Structure 1
Amino acid sequence: MARKFTRVGVVGLGTMGAGIAEVFARNGLSVVAVDRDQASVARGRGHIEHSTGRAVARGKLAESEQAELLSRITFDTELKALADADLVIEAVPEQLNLKRAIFTALDEICGPETILATNTSSLSVTEIAVATSRPGKVIGVHFFNPAPVMKLVEVVRSVVTEPDVVADIEAFVASLGKTDVTIGDRAGFIANALLFGYLNHAAAMYSERYASREDIDAAMKLGCGLPMGPLALLDLIGLDTAYEILDTMYKQSRERLHAPTPIFKQMITAGLLGRKVGRGFYTYDGPDSPKVVADAHTPVEQPDTSAARPVQRVGIVGSGTMAIGMVEVFARAGYDVHFIARSAQKVETVEGELRRSLEKGVQRGKLTAEERDEALARVTGSPRLDDLASMDLVVEAVVEEITVKQALFANLDEICRPGAVLATTTSSLPVIECAAATSRQADVIGLHFFNPATVMALVEVVSTVATAADVEATALAVCNRLGKHPVRCGDRAGFIVNGLLFPYLNDAVKMLQAHYATSEDIDSAMKVGCGYPMGPFELLDVVGLDVALAIQRVLYQEFREPGFAPAPLLEHLVTAGRLGRKTGKGFREYT
């Protein structure tokens, strides 16, 4: 039977420690909260009072409940106040020597059966445990910020943690209403190991001036449904904290992708630590404020599209899901659309799918019957590329094979009128290789729509080294008319979204391959701990493992980064025909 904890201690009353103390008190526990001096204790008390005060203001907590909660917490500046605690959790800054010193002191103060826990997010639990005479009773209990809100807790066992201690802590975490994943002692554990590699990559992308901070963040929020963009999240975490976590992970893994990108050190040295000081990647209206204010790097609200070429007639090449979605999006926005499919039968199929989709929109109240009929009236189709001769803009959505796209662009170059803009919706292939198949490289651009095109607001506007300025302006103007959110970037493999997303997915496969955690626990950690809409393995099964492998290979070939090499497990599953939901088997099996 699991051990019951009634008196618990918290060491360190920063944002995280104060949040953990609040969680314990909310669950009826008697809490002793300790920090180094009265000023730190006062700040910690203020954190808890402010957090519970917000809950009262939102009607989630009665004033009497707030008073009762606060009465359960005793504040002190001496570790000896923890002498009779059943469980003590440490939440001081991520400095190994500091944590070890605290655990050594707690080992002498607390009873022999007291469990000592660390809330470290990246340091070795084992190295902390051996600073005591009871390493078997030391465990990692990693809460996520803000602790009263976030449901995930990573329970981290070292090689010497006693099984009963693990079981007792798992039951305790469940009693708090939290979701537990239990894992071994490895830098970053699950969530941070996957999250911070992605954040590091995003910071590098920004420092290379590949895209603006606003476009990087918007791309990941709109393209992947993430609650925050990576640079805004780094500001929230604190750049100094992010640097420490990455540095710890790199020292243990020697994985170059975990080596903190130089911009972290530069910004830390300049005092740009994020929200807590009012400046980081963004500027805020004060320390600890979430409100972003304009600064010298803030772009104008709408990029100048005055030089845009006039576009009314749009051609779409392709008959798959993406092509059909784009036909609908352009037609509903008032463009005259002519699509090209391989055969007359395919043309009829596209027309049927388009009618069905528009009818669903009518039934759901998203458009009127009149708007449906007007959109259908604007659409024509044929199997003849020559019918695109008078188009102002042609967008291809054919198979992701560069030779097929190059042949198509060579044909479009001969067929389309001078001044027509030619666009590819490739998600990873080089746009310039499509442009090089034509005699009008300046007229070629990438317009990467996301699936389903009728729903997803994001479009990556990809300019090559040869794309004319008025062609980019045309693409931006078209996106605005479509009601889409364009983000601008250069022509390199993966662009923004896939360039950040797929290395993260590949890292998740490597973690599973190393038997560090199950696919279910990894998915749970990223959904519950980081607020992701889907876990990495759920997403891979939806995308298709063959598609993911192809994109990862393109990224590896482009950047020659060893960490981008596709995980062997991913290659083996594709070889075995386990491609995800479309085949009924991927990382999971489907019925």
Structure 2
Amino acid sequence: MVGLGTMGAGIAETLAHRGLAVVGVERDHESLRRARARLAHSLDRAQGHGRLDPPSREDLLARIGLGTDLAAVADCDLVIEAIDERMDAKAALFARLDALCPPGTVLVTNTSSLSVTELAAGTGRPARVLGMHWFNPAPVMGLVEVVRTVVTDPDALEAVVALAGAAGKTAVVAADRAGFIVNALLFGYLNNAVRMVESRFATREDVDAAMRLGCGHPMGPLALLDLIGLDAAQAILASMYEQTGDHRHAPAPLLGQLVAAGLLGRKAGRGFYPYTAPDSGEVVGTGTAVGTGTAVGTGTAAAVEVPPVRRVGVVGSGTMALGIAEVLARSGHEVIVRARRPDAADGVRARVRTSLDAAVAKGRLSEQDRDGALSRLRATTDLGDLGGCDLVLEAVVEDLAVKRELFTDLDKVARPGAVLATTTSSLPVIDCAMATSRPEDVVGMHWFNPAPAMRLVEIVPTVLTGETAIAGALGLARAAGRHPVRCADRAGFIVNALLFPYLNDAVRMVEANYATIDDIDTAMTVGCGHPLGPFALADVVGLDVTLAITRSLYEQFREPAYVPAPLLEHLVRAGFLGRKTGRGFREHRRR
């Protein structure tokens, strides 16, 4: 193990903990002293948490030989470097290792962003030089990316994958391209989130809440950047941009401004968020982070006092419409569901009751509350019955022509001042608003499926939406026990605009034989803590829905990288739409 900084010492500790003999080398005695202290501190913590007893600690230390003589690694079967992330320094080290070690020794770089192929080409053994990207902290994180080049010896690849397994890690294999798997998918998404805040499209809090609540991510993108370190993130993005030329990897100007100001994230005590102290994860205050400003369309709606929404009309009788109706009825609102056909209207209460009964059976709802919710719910086929509602919410088919016609009709029957809301996930809210004579009363209110389980609601004002309508939508979402976030009327809003380019990038990885579907999904679940990998998620969402939303993003932004991956289009054409058809990126059992 050459280089015993935070990462190198963590890797050495992990390997020794699994019974492997490790030779650790630092460049000078002062660096070696710090490495010993770093290792001792980590072992003290493990012992303090009961993960290591004193005899095991001594055995572990006995398996690690530390020194400053690089020649000590000459007898090792495999050498890992974890020195500074500079190509010149790594290349010089690999040239020395190539001269010191026998031809069969495998040389491994822990780089997170540099070209493994370039390092391999500088040696006399390019087939036995690979990447092994560990994640920080190495003793805790379960993922290791093993990076192969076009000339990698299969035996060497097998040896490195086996080493990761012996270390108790999950190995995924990726080709040598910028960012490997995790960073290639993660940092485009993170940079996109920075640009959202930079353009005042949404606030940092709303962007982070949207991705936590809407996608189940353990952290929002801005909080994650603060944890990674804004300087480290900027360096990774710059390296990826240099290799790909993709402007999505060009670090957002706001990121560079924060780094220049010394606001590097948690380690500095301030980044996108202010923290109680350097290296603390506790956020203080609720003021706006430097450089973020106010989100477009936010105005002062939170301060506008409007009567609470009591009666709600829901147009539609599909899964989403009835899920929303159930949530609102359970939260004390009077709900009128308008279905187009009598048979659909007749089935509304029965379908909602089935869902409520399931909640009662699971102990999540009392019989009394179920009966109360049902007493507040009724169905109709007459749009005019919604005339007395405080807010009317449409949840019909995702077709702009259909929605515009419906809003024209709602404009005629809704009382003056009633809020008219659309649940669209990808269509322009302004187009719905302009189908009415009262665009100031029209707002987007994007619920997530299944509505009874998902806490997030995206509130989407247009450039014409009045503060009263915004306050009404926000108030209804909060009264229903949901967490509203606000953003401007732009394709994808927050969640879809961040999520679907990431899914499309993952499909392109597979198209390019960059990594397998299983390895990509594993990388993002094990490495980033996502509840589902991108392919598992696309199969749940539906590949037809994924394609439609990706197309809508491309049509608005004209970003070349948003063009739907051909593989996605081919699967949809073949009728492989995901779980609902029994086959998407994977095969599924039909229920």
In structure 1, C-alpha distance between the alignment counterparts of 2:468 and 2:44, rounded to whole Å: 53
Aligned to 1:6: none
CA shift digits 1:553-590 (9 cap, x unpaired): 11011111111111111111111111111111211122
TM-score in terms of structure 1 length: 0.94
Aligned to 1:309: 307
Identify which range, 36-45 or 321-330, moves more after superposition. Answer: 36-45
Give the 3-state SS of the residue equivalent to 2:302 in structure 1: coil
1:260 is aligned, of 207, 231, 251, to 251
What percent identity do the matched residue pairs reach? 58
In structure 2, C-alpha distance between the alignment counterparts of 1:418 and 1:285, rounded to whole Å: 48
2:360 is the alignment partner of 1:369: no
Aligned to 1:541: 539
Measure how far apart 1:294 and its partner are. 2.4
Measure how far apart 1:21 and its partner are. 1.4
In structure 1, the gaps of 5 or more residues are 1-9
Identify which range, 33-42 or 194-203, moves more after superposition. Answer: 33-42
Q: What amino acid does structure 2 have at the position aligned with 1:579? A: L
Give the 3-state SS of the residue equivalent to 2:487 in structure 1: strand
In structure 1, C-alpha distance between the alignment counterparts of 2:324 and 2:34, rounded to whole Å: 54
Equivalent positions of 1:271-420 (< 5 A) are 271-294=262-285, 296-297=287-288, 304-420=302-418
Measure how far apart 1:520 and its partner are. 1.5
Measure how far apart 1:34 and its partner are. 2.8
Aligned to 1:438: 436
Aligned to 1:55: 46
2:575 is the alignment partner of 1:584: no
The answer to whether the 8 A contact 1:309-1:470 is kept is: no
Aligned to 2:297: none
In structure 2, C-alpha distance between the alignment counterparts of 1:306 and 1:64, rounded to whole Å: 65
Aligned to 1:240: 231
Aligned to 2:166: 175
In structure 2, C-alpha distance between the alignment counterparts of 1:304 and 1:222, rounded to whole Å: 21
Distance 1:220 1:362, change over 3 A: same
CA shift digits 1:327-369 (9 cap, x unpaired): 1110111001111111121122221110011111111111111
In structure 1, C-alpha distance between the alignment counterparts of 2:285 and 2:308, rounded to whole Å: 32
CA shift digits 1:220-270 (9 cap, x unpaired): 011001111111111222222222222222222222222222222222222
Give the 3-state SS of the residue equivalent to 1:161 in structure 2: coil
2:127 is aligned, of 136, 152, 162, to 136
Aligned to 1:88: 79
Aligned to 1:459: 457
Distance 1:14 1:233, change over 3 A: farther
1:429 is aligned, of 413, 417, 427, to 427
2:488 is the alignment partner of 1:490: yes
Measure how far apart 1:317 and its partner are. 0.8
In structure 1, C-alpha distance between the alignment counterparts of 2:59 and 2:188, rounded to whole Å: 42
In structure 2, C-alpha distance between the alignment counterparts of 1:41 and 1:532, rounded to whole Å: 37
Give the 3-state SS of the residue equivalent to 2:313 in structure 1: strand
Aligned to 2:516: 518
The answer to whether the 8 A contact 1:305-1:477 is kept is: no
2:25 is the alignment partner of 1:34: yes
Give the 3-state SS of the residue equivalent to 2:459 in structure 1: strand
Give the 3-state SS of the residue equivalent to 2:19 in structure 1: coil
In structure 2, C-alpha distance between the alignment counterparts of 1:402 and 1:231, rounded to whole Å: 33
Identify which range, 124-133 or 420-429, moves more after superposition. Answer: 124-133
Give the 3-state SS of the residue equivalent to 1:284 in structure 2: coil
Q: What amino acid does structure 2 have at the position aligned with 1:443? A: D
In structure 2, C-alpha distance between the alignment counterparts of 1:169 and 1:333, rounded to whole Å: 55
CA shift digits 1:414-448 (9 cap, x unpaired): 10001111111111111111111111111111111
- Alignment length (residue pairs): 581
Aligned to 1:7: none
CA shift digits 1:43-82 (9 cap, x unpaired): 4444433433333333333343234323433333443343
Aligned to 1:64: 55
1:21 is aligned, of 6, 9, 12, to 12
In structure 2, C-alpha distance between the alignment counterparts of 1:318 and 1:38, rounded to whole Å: 72
Equivalent positions of 1:149-164 (< 5 A) are 149-164=140-155
Q: What amino acid does structure 1 have at the position aligned with 2:78? A: L
Q: What amino acid does structure 2 have at the position aligned with 1:566? A: P
Aligned to 2:181: 190
In structure 2, C-alpha distance between the alignment counterparts of 1:424 and 1:288, rounded to whole Å: 43
In structure 2, C-alpha distance between the alignment counterparts of 1:60 and 1:296, rounded to whole Å: 40
Give the 3-state SS of the residue equivalent to 2:75 in structure 1: coil
In structure 1, C-alpha distance between the alignment counterparts of 2:44 and 2:313, rounded to whole Å: 57
Measure how far apart 1:174 and its partner are. 1.5
Measure how far apart 1:306 and its partner are. 4.9
In structure 2, C-alpha distance between the alignment counterparts of 1:332 and 1:483, rounded to whole Å: 10
Give the 3-state SS of the residue equivalent to 1:411 in structure 2: helix
2:568 is the alignment partner of 1:565: no
In structure 2, C-alpha distance between the alignment counterparts of 1:320 and 1:45, rounded to whole Å: 63
Measure how far apart 1:173 and its partner are. 1.5
In structure 1, C-alpha distance between the alignment counterparts of 2:285 and 2:33, rounded to whole Å: 33
Measure how far apart 1:527 and its partner are. 1.2
Give the 3-state SS of the residue equivalent to 1:292 in structure 2: coil
Q: What amino acid does structure 2 have at the position aligned with 1:570? A: L
Measure how far apart 1:134 and its partner are. 2.3
In structure 2, C-alpha distance between the alignment counterparts of 1:355 and 1:563, rounded to whole Å: 45
CA shift digits 1:80-113 (9 cap, x unpaired): 3433332221112321112112212222333443
Q: What amino acid does structure 2 have at the position aligned with 1:68? A: D
In structure 2, C-alpha distance between the alignment counterparts of 1:319 and 1:44, rounded to whole Å: 64
Give the 3-state SS of the residue equivalent to 1:347 in structure 2: helix
Identify which range, 51-60 or 216-225, moves more after superposition. Answer: 51-60
2:476 is the alignment partner of 1:478: yes
Aligned to 2:240: 249
